[in-house]
Structure 1
Amino acid sequence: MRDDATGRTLTAHESRETPWLSVVLGFGPMLPLVAGAAAAWWMRGQPLDYLVALVTILYGAAILLFLAGVRRGVSFRTEGGPTVVQIATMFGLFALGLSALVTVVMGKAIPALALLIVGYAAIAVLDPIAARTGEAPLFFARLRPLQMPIAVVSLAALLWLKWISPY
């Protein structure tokens, strides 16, 4: 690192291998989505199944909002500064997460789940592209296509449950 009156120059080597902490912090937060979907199916028709689904949707929205922040955080260290694509992706993910929060609070679980599924699927597709273009860490190209389908499948299972539920 070189620091002078005009700024700081960083030189970094980025591995293509996913760091162990990123494996833990990448897959760990997906587990509550799996558990929430499984619990909602297991409790189907019981008084608390709505609460389990609601908490799972709220959690999914919180994680999507966090991932929008991750995209913005990565843009601070992009060579040449943040790109239009990084900022647009961040705003898109944030809008999906916030819209899901508002929608589920209004009692519309199915549209909220659809918004979350779109957001997580977008990350699975866009982050590997961003990794190849230098707009995200290289290991995102391997991590995101394995990580995000866990969220998408869990939320899709919850969506299907809400779709077929009489209430």
Structure 2
Amino acid sequence: MHDDATGRTIVAREPRRIPWLDIVFGFGPMLPIAAGAAVAWWLQGQPLDYLVALCTLLYSASILCFLAGVHRGVSFRTEGGPRLSQMVTMLVLYGLGLGSLFSAVLGKVVIGLAMLILGYALVAVLDPIEARSGSVPLAHARLRPIQMPIAVVSLAVLLWVKLNAPY
């Protein structure tokens, strides 16, 4: 690191392999989403399935908003400064996460779940592309396509449970 009156120069090296902490903090947060879907499936048709789906939606929205923040955070250290793709991705992911929260508050859980499915699917598709251009860490090219389908499938299960609920 070089620090002078005009700023700071940082040289960083990213591994192509997925670091151990990325595995822990990448897959760990997906477990409550999968568990929520499994419990809602098991309880489907019972009044508690709504509560489980709602809690899982709220948790999933918080993780999606966090992922939006990851894009913004990486942009601070992107060579040449923040890129338009980073800002657009951050805003879209944050908007979908926040929109799903608003949908839940308005009692529109199905809409909120659909927004979350879209958001997590976008991360699975866009992060590998952005990793090649340096907009996100290189490891995301390998991590996101195996991490995000856990959320997408789990949220799709919740959506199916809600669409088939008797009430």
TM-score (norm 2): 0.98
SS in 2 for 1:14: coil
1:46-102 deviations in Å (ceiling 9; x for gaps): 221111110000111010001000110010000000001100110000100000000
Equivalent residue number for residue 50 of structure 2: 50
Matches within 5 A, 1:30-69: 30-69=30-69
**Is 2:126 aligned against 1:117?**
no
Equivalent residue number for residue 136 of structure 2: 136
Q: Which runs of 5+ in 2 are unaligned?
A: none
2: CA distance, partners of 1:110 / 1:47: 16
1: CA distance, partners of 2:11 / 2:108: 48
1:1-52 deviations in Å (ceiling 9; x for gaps): 1111111111111110111011000000000000000000111122211111
* AA partner of residue 63 (structure 2): I
Matches within 5 A, 1:66-85: 66-85=66-85
Equivalent residue number for residue 107 of structure 2: 107
Q: Which consecutive aligned stretches of 4+ in structure 1 deviate over 6 angstroms post-superposition?
A: none
1: CA distance, partners of 2:92 / 2:41: 30
Aligned residues: 167
TM-score (norm 1): 0.98
SS in 2 for 1:3: strand
1:88-135 deviations in Å (ceiling 9; x for gaps): 110000100000000011111111100000000000000001100010
Of 39-48 and 25-34, more deviation after overlay is shown by: 39-48
Q: Which runs of 5+ in 1 are unaligned?
A: none
Identical-residue share of aligned pairs (%): 66
In the TM superposition, what is the alpha-carbon distance from 1:164 to its structure 2 partner? Answer: 1.1
1: CA distance, partners of 2:40 / 2:84: 39
Equivalent residue number for residue 9 of structure 1: 9
